[in-house]
A = this chain, B = another copy of it.
Amino acid sequence: MNGADDLVHTLLAGGVEVCFTNPGTSEMHFVAALDRIDRMRCVLGLFEGVVTGAADGYYRIAGKPAATLLHLGPGLGNGLANLHNARRARSGIVNIVGDHATDHLANDSPLTSDLEGIARTVSHWVRTTRSAGTLRTDALAAIDAACSPPGQIATLALPADAAWGELPAHQAPLAPDSMRPAIAYRPLDAAAVTAAAQALLEPETLLLLGAGALDEPALEQAGRIAARTGCALMTEFYTAKLSRGAGRVVAPRLPYAVEPTVAALARFKRIVLVGARAPIAFFAYPGKPRRLAPAGCALITLTEPEHDAHAALAALAAELDASALAPAHVAARQTLSPSALPAGRPNSDGIAAVLSALLPEHAIVVDEAVTTGRSFGPSTVGAAPHDWLSVMGGSIGFALPCAVGAAIAAPARKVVALEGDGSAMYTIQALWTMAREQLDVTVVIMANRAYQILRGEFAGVGAGTPGRRATDMLTLDRPTLDFVSIARGMGLEAARAEDLGEFARLFGRAMSQTGPVLIELVIG
């Protein structure tokens, strides 16, 4: 047994059973170990941003980390943006990054880089293992770190000689699942529960939900608290995984832009934060506020992301004597007869109506539809129950890889990736992995043929109206991207819709079958 074999066994012992990978020479022993060891599912991505984004999506659905296998510092660099997103999503990931053999580093061969330096910019935990003999201890520490609530990025650099080094013959591999870490939340503060309860008994109080407080049981507690106190419920604009749809408690998202967020918050005198942060602007704009809660509004923190938000909401409901109440704000099922589906020119409301009508039960929606998708929320609250995943770190190129990971984590659920055309291009290689693994993902490209968000931001930052040269930097026409052709080139079934009727037909067909499909929806 060499170090690489022991590493794969140790990952399995820690409950890590999926590895998203884009390997190179220094990772060949790890790849060879896959032939000798069952149970580790290895999924190839053709670009490292696919690999790290998939690990993010996997964690959000599976609730436990996947591993990535990356090639040296530059390979990690290619995965950095989606690791940033994963970090902001508080997704646990175990990155295994191959490095040169220890005695070769000083030779500074072309691929040598500041691997640990790159890793530290996005990781909560970084270590370079010394040898095959230290690999097991270090891998277990990496898994522990990744599983620390609410989920962390752990990066283990694996020198090639540690992978190929032989271990003593008497050393037996760890058994699968024998070393799964216990989840150790930060202890709740009883005083915080009391303070939150007091605030909620006052009028004009908002219960703002974030990390850990977005799934069905947490929302139900929030709904009970709202039933008792009349408080408002909202979530942060971005949600790592929000349970939505008929039968679920509705907590509307905060808006994206500064002015509507200020307006939405204006009436509140108190905001109780459950895994959420004080509302801030996504970007700063000249002359606009950065902190968006009204002046004098009290911010009461019930939980940080490191706490058990379920337990805190249950304790809060108990404190308010609300545990037995029926939750408020439960969404009713809204159905639409097929003949009532919208037709005509695609717009946000029409697209949302199609989604709402046709999303199957327990679908996973990965939302990077940017401008087009911002207003999908209200129209889809009555859809079949589903989960809604958004790009937490704001670095676009997230949705297609995230959909890959979500589909690997939940093969029985339909995954729908709502994707902007600009965003799609950053990690378009994910389509190939969907085709190779025959994942049940429907990709909808909202093709407005521009970085549409930047047209708004251009004005928002006070830059006026873009002229010819600026417009060139904001548009994706000339030439027009043909996503049907691109998708077919990567082995995916694909079709184009230019009106809502055709979109509803294609989307309905995709929902009724399994396997990967791409729909390019042209938004004029």
Question: A512 on the interface (CB 8 Å rule)?
Answer: no
Question: A505 on the interface (CB 8 Å rule)?
Answer: no
Q: Are B107 and A117 in contact (CB under 8 A)?
A: no
Question: A378 on the interface (CB 8 Å rule)?
Answer: no
Q: Chain A, interface size: which category?
A: 35 or more
Q: Are B489 and A164 in contact (CB under 8 A)?
A: no
Of the stretches A71-79, A324-332, A338-346, A360-368, the one at the interface is A71-79
Question: A121 on the interface (CB 8 Å rule)?
Answer: yes
Interface string of A420-436 (1 = CB under 8 A from B): 00100110110010011
Interface string of A428-452 (1 = CB under 8 A from B): 1100100110000000000000000
- Given the known A-B contacts A281-B109, A290-B104, A469-B34, are A81 and B81 also in contact in the complex, defined by CB atoms under 8 Å? no
Of the stretches A20-28, A171-179, A305-313, A399-407, the one at the interface is A20-28
Copies in the complex: 2
Interface string of A444-481 (1 = CB under 8 A from B): 00000000011001101111101111101110101111
**Minimal beta-carbon separation of A67 from chain B (angstroms):** 13
Question: A161 on the interface (CB 8 Å rule)?
Answer: yes
Residues on B with beta carbons closer than 8 Å to the beta carbon of A72:
395
Q: Of A109, A284, A461, A479, which is in contact with the most chain B CB atoms at under 10 Å from its CB?
A: A284
Interface residues of A in 163-215 (CB under 8 A from B): 164
Residues on B with beta carbons closer than 8 Å to the beta carbon of A487:
489
Interface residues of A in 37-72 (CB under 8 A from B): 42, 44, 46-47, 49, 72
Q: Are A280 and B479 in contact (CB under 8 A)?
A: no
Closest to A429 in B: B425
- Given the known A-B contacts A100-B284, A117-B120, A284-B104, are A46 and B422 also in contact in the complex, defined by CB atoms under 8 Å? yes
Closest to A113 in B: B84
Q: Are B107 and A113 in contact (CB under 8 A)?
A: no
Q: Are B121 and A117 in contact (CB under 8 A)?
A: yes
Question: A483 on the interface (CB 8 Å rule)?
Answer: yes
Question: A491 on the interface (CB 8 Å rule)?
Answer: yes
Q: Are A469 and B35 in contact (CB under 8 A)?
A: yes
**Minimal beta-carbon separation of A273 from chain B (angstroms):** 14
CA distance A489 to B435 in the complex (A): 17
CA distance A509 to B287 in the complex (A): 57
CA distance A49 to B164 in the complex (A): 32
**Minimal beta-carbon separation of A490 from chain B (angstroms):** 6
Question: A238 on the interface (CB 8 Å rule)?
Answer: yes
**Minimal beta-carbon separation of A61 from chain B (angstroms):** 21
Question: A135 on the interface (CB 8 Å rule)?
Answer: no
**Minimal beta-carbon separation of A211 from chain B (angstroms):** 13
Q: Are B394 and A110 in contact (CB under 8 A)?
A: yes
Question: A352 on the interface (CB 8 Å rule)?
Answer: no
Interface string of A481-516 (1 = CB under 8 A from B): 111111111110000000000000000000000000
Q: A164 contacts which of B74, B453, B462 (Cβ < 8 Å)?
A: B462
Q: Are B284 and A103 in contact (CB under 8 A)?
A: yes
Q: Are A482 and B489 in contact (CB under 8 A)?
A: yes
Residues on B with beta carbons closer than 8 Å to the beta carbon of A78:
49, 78, 80-81, 397, 426
Residues on B with beta carbons closer than 8 Å to the beta carbon of A482:
488-491
Closest to A19 in B: B473
Q: Are A81 and B88 in contact (CB under 8 A)?
A: no
Question: A393 on the interface (CB 8 Å rule)?
Answer: yes
Across the A-B interface, give the 7 residue pairs with the lowest CB-CB distance, nearest first: A479-B491, A77-B80, A485-B489, A35-B467, A486-B489, A101-B284, A74-B395
Please give 10 more A-B residue pairs, beta carbons under 8 A apart, in addition to A23-B454, A25-B453, A164-B461. Answer: A47-B397, A77-B77, A107-B281, A108-B280, A110-B394, A164-B463, A428-B429, A484-B489, A485-B489, A486-B489
16 of the cross-chain contacts (CB-CB < 8 Å) are: A21-B473, A24-B454, A25-B283, A35-B468, A35-B469, A42-B472, A44-B472, A46-B426, A49-B78, A75-B81, A78-B81, A107-B280, A109-B283, A110-B393, A436-B479, A483-B489
